[in-house]
Structure 1
């Protein structure tokens, strides 16, 4: 674990070392995007109407903060083996740890965005309550999801070179299907379509963070979604681990 933390800190610094603002871009980029989405969807389309009893801005920020982290961690982890396999092949280092390193390296920006979310919430009347402790469960669930997807996606990206490009397109689509900008439950979507959208594991995390901070429910109150989410994580981790152990000795040759 110590090696993972040290390498993740190094990767954070190396990513922006040639930029004038350096690591500041880790935080400026999502803040610029939040401002754009709020102006377009909050002010333009919804005319500032509240959602789930709070203003659109805090509602959106609470959901978009874990999404930014999940999106970037998913894409970075998917190319982790492809980028580093030649380096780790020359030393004793577990290749399976590379996706986890990418997940951990993105945590610094996630914590900053969560602090920003809490600050925006406090300014808009979202005050601490007992349900806030529930975020610990959803944070654990989010990390498990990202590690499982990282193991699977990183292996497939080596086997199929076009997979990472396909994954980028899929993540753009999932952004609008994860409830980040819209509340599917309160809109005019038919019930079967809403249930189909709820199968999305990213939706489970985004809506879970909102439920925790807004105080609209507990994870045990939606047992079917929770079972579906953890079943998905287990299956993805199982398949990803199988592919990884099957092809890890050939990663260098494949690349």
Structure 2
């Protein structure tokens, strides 16, 4: 637990550095493109259009999901997924890419995954506003349930930091891990309820219970519960305990490995 507390302390003590570097990286990544930062928002919108045409119009023939238009249901779920997917993959290679630079100066390497997470937040806020607008157009009105978005946002950031410090460290220790993680995230895209509602009679109950243990599913379904007003987070005590238990697990393992091998990162790379 001492390593976890040290990790969390480093994040808060360097929060100014985190936001400054993340802002710089946003500008630097797209500076050579004609549309610049517009691509950060345009690409997810294009992806949403493709998924809606294929799954909403093509496979579902425009049918609703639990009385909610499929486009609304999909957009509110895919918004946190796009953010978590990109933040997870970016965080996993954050130390590998920057350790050579920070090794020459006094710099808390543990904040590198967090910088990648923060740098993706601007696109998330834009997508969230877009999903709200789509909801308004299809008759979804604000309710008291929306306030729990605050809770699920905290859950999402906590999970990404815990998973990020673990992935970024393992990626240095095991070079092939990043390729495995990319494949895992592609699989989780279909197993997190982003495009399909597997909480139906079409799927066996034991299979559904296993899929619900996925932390990404917890966040995706939580944002849907908030917008559509279907449930409060405390009505899912088992899933909540499992979710925070997984965060604690990855924090413990990730922080232990990080501080154990941090002095050797340059040699390992």
TM range (shorter): over 0.9
The answer to whether the aligner puts 1:254 opposite 2:268 as a matched pair is yes
Q: Using the TM superposition, give the Cα deviation of residue 251 of structure 1 relative to its aligned residue in structure 2, in angstroms.
A: 0.2
**Out of 90, 103, 123, which is 2:104 matched to?**
90
CA separation in 1, counterparts of 2:201 and 2:138? 23
Q: 1:163: which partner in 2?
A: 177
CA separation in 1, counterparts of 2:111 and 2:92? 12
Q: 1:216: which partner in 2?
A: 230
**Out of 243, 254, 257, which is 1:229 matched to?**
243
**Out of 27, 46, 71, which is 1:57 matched to?**
71
Structure 1 segments of 4+ aligned residues over 6 angstroms from their partners: none
The answer to whether the aligner puts 1:37 opposite 2:51 as a matched pair is yes
CA separation in 1, counterparts of 2:228 and 2:65? 10
CA RMSD of superposed structures (Å): 0.6
Q: What is the TM-score normalised by the length of structure 1?
A: 0.99
Q: 2:95: which partner in 1?
A: 81
CA separation in 2, counterparts of 1:53 and 1:129? 17
Q: 2:127: which partner in 1?
A: 113
CA separation in 2, counterparts of 1:242 and 1:53? 47
Residue by residue over 1:17-75, the C-alpha shift from the partner in whole angstroms, topping out at 9 and shown as x without a partner, is 11111111101111011000000000011111111221000100000000000000000
Q: Using the TM superposition, give the Cα deviation of residue 201 of structure 1 relative to its aligned residue in structure 2, in angstroms.
A: 0.4
Q: What is the TM-score normalised by the length of structure 2?
A: 0.94
Q: 1:102: which partner in 2?
A: 116
Q: 1:9: which partner in 2?
A: 23
The answer to whether the aligner puts 1:178 opposite 2:192 as a matched pair is yes
**Out of 245, 254, 269, which is 1:240 matched to?**
254
Number of residue pairs matched by the alignment: 255
Unaligned residue ranges in structure 1 (runs of 5+): none
**Out of 2, 27, 36, which is 2:41 matched to?**
27
CA separation in 2, counterparts of 1:147 and 1:60? 25
CA separation in 1, counterparts of 2:109 and 2:128? 30
Unaligned residue ranges in structure 2 (runs of 5+): 1-14
Q: 1:71: which partner in 2?
A: 85
Residue by residue over 1:113-153, the C-alpha shift from the partner in whole angstroms, topping out at 9 and shown as x without a partner, is 00000000000011100000010000000000000011000
Q: Using the TM superposition, give the Cα deviation of residue 186 of structure 1 relative to its aligned residue in structure 2, in angstroms.
A: 2.1
Residue by residue over 1:95-123, the C-alpha shift from the partner in whole angstroms, topping out at 9 and shown as x without a partner, is 00000000000000000000000000000
Q: 2:32: which partner in 1?
A: 18
**Secondary structure at the counterpart of residue 182 of structure 1:** coil
Residue by residue over 1:190-242, the C-alpha shift from the partner in whole angstroms, topping out at 9 and shown as x without a partner, is 00000010011000000000000000001100100000000000000110000
CA separation in 2, counterparts of 1:34 and 1:186? 23
**Secondary structure at the counterpart of residue 203 of structure 2:** coil
